[in-house]
Amino acid sequence: MSLIQGTIITFSILPFFPFLIVFAVCRYLLKLEKKKSLLISMDITTAFLILSVAALFNVIFASRFGFYLILLLLLLALGLIGGAQNRIKGKVDGKRLCRAVWRLTFIAMTLAYILLTIVGIFKNIFNNM
């Protein structure tokens, strides 16, 4: 296993590590303001959260549909938010739309990660009794 592949797998299993690493690099090495560092950390961590939640979903529910379910939900969110943006402003700003969906995905995937981790722990405990 290559170093890059191992790093991606580790960061996907523990997605709070890349958040902390990116935040520290942005804040203390690049000297960015706190809000900008937080947003960059959220953007990068979202990709690892998507992989992690998809894997947790697949393991818990003995499925191979987790990643595709997340993609489907992302497309639905893009359509719904894009439609709302079109109704309100009369046009769709693609950059703002993608940024909004990506940041909402961070929140949703963080909650899903916590929930699926708890479900997975309880499932493992009760299956081994």
Per-residue confidence (pLDDT) for residue 107, from 0 to 100 = 96
pLDDT digit string (tens) for 47-99?
999 999 999 999 999 999 999 999 999 999 999 999 999 999 999 999 999 99
pTM, full prediction: 0.90
Instruction: Yes or no: say if 85 and 96 are a contact pair by the CB < 8 Å rule.
Output: yes
Domain membership of residue 12 as a residue range: 2-128
Say which residue the tokens 């706190």 belong to: 34
Q: What is the pLDDT of residue 18?
A: 92
pLDDT band at 127 (very low <50, low <70, confident <90, very high): confident
As a whole number of Å, the CA-based R_g of the chain is 17
Q: Are the C-beta atoms of residues 19 and 9 closer than 8 Å to each other?
A: no
Terminus-to-terminus CA distance in the chain, angstroms? 35
Domains held by the chain: number: 1
Residue 110 tokens, joined:
């963080």
